[in-house]
């Protein structure tokens, strides 16, 4: 459970226009995250653009992470693919290259049934032979995990956690209570959706799988620390400082915003993979303004 608790920072994966990973840039981003003292790094998640990368580049990204931060902070690697056998291969690649844990969303072109998702995730968990976090990401996959399916998967070998979307009714406590009543005590339940992170941790969620922490790790850590300590006033104050970013995430999608933020910070040449286009000048200016607001309100 320790692997899937606390603040998990999800990095972008800088590449050239041909989809080759920029080793120097990625290593620098991961070092920055590690130095901030996060609990884990999420590599090749949705923010990391895993769906846009070849098998070879995905394996190379894990090797870069191993060489950069291996042994200092756990690395959780996304291994999603359309075919089960491809996802199994990616899981084995990740383990061999030095991953500490796996993250798996049920990618599909054809809508999947619950049994298909159960067998897919169980097979990949067995092939990877590392602790695996289920990625419940209906905004991308169009598949919603039922609580019954989560409970069933939680009993399978190597399946140790789930990354949940924000509940529609914002009832984190109710959802956590229902899931924990039907899953093992060491099964970790965390949330993505950065604008709900503070509330999810205050309600007792095990982890915040954070997009913004990939580029502002120290500031995100301040928010996570306050929320996990139950300091509602401080958590809400810090969350308000991020509000402009949450608005941008909802309007443009966090993927696009993170590339613009990397440019604003001067951390690397960040070009999103086509067909994704960079934010226009007006939106990019809003990203810079949001960054200035963070700097004025959160001291890392």
Query: What are 228-287's pLDDT values in tens digits?
Result: 999 999 999 999 999 999 999 999 999 999 999 999 999 998 899 999 999 999 999 999
Q: Is 163 a catalytic residue?
A: yes
Q: Structure tokens of 268?
A: 């690397």
Catalytic, out of 50, 109, 163, 209: 163
| Cis status, amide bond into 275, omega within 30 of 0 | yes
pLDDT digits (tens, 9 = 90+) for 38-50: 999 999 999 999 9
pLDDT digits (tens, 9 = 90+) for 75-112: 999 999 999 999 999 999 999 999 999 999 999 999 99
Catalytic, out of 50, 135, 209, 259: 135
Helix (H, G, I), strand (E, B) or coil at 153: helix
Give yes or no for a contact between 213 and 187, defined as CB atoms under 8 angstroms apart.
no
Other CB atoms within 10 Å distance of the CB of residue 80: 26
Q: Is 259 a catalytic residue?
A: no
Helix (H) / strand (E) element for 283: namely: helix 281-297
Q: Structure tokens of 198?
A: 């503070």
């Amino acid at each position: 459970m320790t692997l899937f608790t606390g603040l998990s920072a999800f990095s972008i994966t800088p590449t050239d226009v041909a989809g080759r990973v920029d080793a120097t840039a990625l290593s620098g981003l991961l070092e920055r995250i590690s130095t901030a003292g996060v609990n884990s790094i999420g590599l090749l998640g949705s923010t990391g653009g895993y769906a846009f990368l070849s098998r070879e580049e995905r394996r190379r990204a894990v090797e870069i992470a191993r060489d950069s931060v291996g042994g200092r902070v756990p690395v959780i690697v996304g291994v999603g693919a359309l075919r089960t056998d491809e996802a199994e291969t990616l899981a084995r690649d990740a383990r061999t290259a030095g991953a500490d844990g796996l993250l798996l969303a049920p990618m599909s072109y054809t809508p999947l049934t619950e049994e298909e998702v159960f067998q897919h995730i169980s097979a990949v968990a067995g092939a990877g032979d590392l602790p695996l976090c289920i990625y419940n990401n209906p905004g991308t996959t169009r598949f919603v995990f039922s609580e019954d399916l989560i409970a069933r998967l939680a009993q399978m070998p190597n399946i140790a956690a789930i990354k949940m979307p924000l509940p529609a009714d914002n009832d984190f406590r109710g959802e956590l209570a229902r899931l924990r009543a039907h899953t093992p005590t060491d099964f970790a339940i965390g949330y993505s959706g950065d604008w709900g992170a503070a509330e999810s941790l205050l309600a007792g969620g095990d982890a915040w799988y954070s997009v913004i922490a990939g580029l502002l790790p120290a500031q995100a850590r301040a928010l996570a620390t306050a929320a996990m300590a139950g300091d509602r006033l401080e958590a809400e104050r810090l969350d308000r400082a991020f509000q402009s970013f949450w608005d941008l995430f909802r309007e443009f999608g966090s993927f696009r915003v993170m590339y613009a933020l990397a440019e604003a910070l001067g951390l690397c040449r960040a070009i999103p993979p086509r067909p994704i286009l960079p934010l226009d000048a007006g939106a990019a200016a809003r990203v810079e303004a949001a960054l200035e607001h963070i700097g004025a309100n959160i001291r890392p």
